[in-house]
Every structure is written in structure tokens, then in C-alpha cells.
Amino acid sequence: MRIATLTAALLMTAFAGVASAQSTIKIGYTLPPNSHYGTAGRVFGEEIAKLTNGRYKAEQFPANALGGEREMIESLQLGNLEMVITSSGPVGNFVPEVAITDIPFLFRDTAHARAVLDSPIGQDILARFPAKGLVALGWGEQGFRHLTNNKRPVKQPEDLKGLKIRTMENQVHMTAFRTLGASPTPMAWPEVIGGLQQGTIDGQENPLSVIVSAKLSEVQKHLTLSRHVYSPALILISKRTFDALSADDKKAFQEAGKVAAAAMRKHIDDVEKKGVEDLKAAGFQVVEEVDTAKFQTVLAPAFAEYAKKFGADKIEKIRTYK
């Protein structure tokens, strides 16, 4: 009897140990810890620890520690990595519906973009992820994209002619820059700084949040506040990881994702308030305004391609959303 009681007690202790064991979730991203990605990763870690009473701990892997964005997304699909915070650019190669958000001059302003992504339009896109082995916990943000280069100030479309501009592996972006007369050069982010230093590429395009956190002022001379594309970000978790969670833990991860996405947006708001002045102080020569209508006119052939690919009605629904 004593032996049976002792055995039961030992089993209960063992199960209690399993139940209280801490699981580590690895979160990879390409930018440094002081970036908007780093903010989202930190806040997610704080929230998931709080919501699960410390049963889950988030371990951060910033600055390309686990590879480029495409590599990390592939690792999510395979279940070799738990989470990634990523730009939307390469995601369109996995979930094609995401690429509609990359159309130039699609969103009027930040408030419009956020409203669309938080609406059924944006949520319907997120619902497409599980079929690709991914679960999207929320739309984060990078902000509106701007152009930097080492050759000349870019004020109008013709100034782009012949410039080798690094883009993400994103056909929507590449079509736009090709139509504008530039030479789009897809390149994984870990290679960009070296490419700019060596002259393999003349410039790149990114939101102020990336331009500031990556210290691109050290390798670029000219900044054009073109606002040519609004750039969302995404907080992704491997479907294999998510499916293994209990119902309560799934809710906790989703809630932590929402809080992290909101923190990322706030980080962007803060950078937008002072980013341009900081970049001027760092040595950038800044073109503060471009003739947006002229850029849109030159991009007419690209817009026709986008309408065929995504559907003119879907694009118009986003453009006119209120």
C-alpha cells in the first residue's frame, strides 16, 4: 500500500513538473533589437510570459541571426523555427494574396492603411496563411517606404533611370521600379549593406524605421521621401507550433500578437515624428517632396498589370475604403 501511495505521489510530482515546465519560443527577425521588429519581439515576450504564467518564454534572434526573411519563413513552414517578425515583401511568395498591399500609392495615409488591414479585407488575407503552413498573429507595420541612393537626388521619375535599386524578392515592387526606368535588383537584407558599400547596387527603398535602425546614413547620401508604398509587417508563427498549443494557449498567443503589433505601430509613429531630422543630422541630403501625380502617371502600365493580377475591383475596394 505504501509503495502504491509513493508511486502515485512520484507520478503526480512528475506530471506537475511537466505542466510547469517552461517552453522557449524562438523569434527571428532581420533588424537590430532597437528596431520596430525588436520592439514587437520584446513586447510579445513580455505578454506571452504574463498570459501563460511564465510557461512560455520568448528568445529573441535579431539581426539576421537565423538568416534572411525568406529562409526564416521556410523554417516556419517546416516547423524548425517557431516565430518570425517579417516585412510583407517576401511573404507574397508564400501567400500570394498579401502582395496586393505592395501596390504603389494604394493607401492614402497611415490611418487608411491601418483601417484596411484591421478590416475584414485585411483579416481575410490573414485567413489564407494556415493553408501555407503559417499562422499570422497580426499585422504589424514598417510605414511608408522611401528611396535612398548614392548617385543623385531623385525628385521625379526620370531621375531613377539606370539606378540599380535593391528591392525585396517581390514582383510587385520590381514591376514598379522597372516601369519607372530603374534596374530593380532583388537582394536578401543581410547582403544589402555590403552591396551598397561595394557599389553592386546604387540604392534601396525602405521605411524610415529601417533606414534609421540600420544606420543607412553610413552608406547612402541621398534620401527621397517618396512614400511610394505602404509597408506592413507580419508576426508569424509556425502552424505546427500553433496547432500543438491548447485552446487557451492559442488565445494567449493571438492576444500577445495583437499587443506586439500595436507596440510596433507606436514605434513607427515615434520614428516618423523625428526620423527625418535625425537622418539630416546624420548626413543625408533629403528631398522632402516628389510629384506623386507624375509618378502615378508613369506607373500606369504597372497599374494595368496589377489590375490583371489582383482584380481591379479588389484594388478599388482598398483604395476607397473608409
- pLDDT beyond 50 at 101: yes
Count of helices and strands (H, E) across the chain: 13, 9
Distance CA 37, CA 29 (A): 7
* Residue 60 neighbours by CB under 8 Å, 6+ apart: 27, 29, 33, 38, 41, 42, 45
Report pLDDT digits (tens) over 157-206: 999 999 999 999 899 999 999 999 999 999 999 999 999 999 999 999 99
The span from the first CA to the last CA of the chain, in angstroms, equals 72
Q: What confidence score (pLDDT) does residue 21 get?
A: 78
List domains and CATH numbers for the chain. Answer: 22-319 (3.40.190.170)
Cβ–Cβ < 8 Å for 175, 243: no
pTM of the full predicted structure? 0.90
Report pLDDT digits (tens) over 24-33: 999 999 999 9
* Residue 101 neighbours by CB under 8 Å, 6+ apart: 88, 117, 125, 230, 232
Q: What confidence score (pLDDT) does residue 11 get?
A: 44
Distance CA 31, CA 10 (A): 47
Report pLDDT digits (tens) over 210-253: 999 999 999 999 999 999 999 999 999 999 999 999 999 999 99
- pLDDT beyond 70 at 130: yes
- H-helix or E-strand spanning residue 134: strand 134-149
29 backbone dihedrals φ, ψ, rounded to 5°: -160, 165
Report pLDDT digits (tens) over 74-96: 999 999 999 999 999 999 999 99
CA distances from 62 to 158, 230, 234, 308 (A): 37, 23, 15, 38
Residue for grid cell 539581426: 63
- Three-state SS for 231? strand
Cβ–Cβ < 8 Å for 99, 92: yes
Task: Report CA 127 to chain centroid distance, whole Å.
Answer: 17
Report pLDDT digits (tens) over 39-88: 999 999 999 999 999 999 999 999 999 999 999 999 999 999 999 999 99
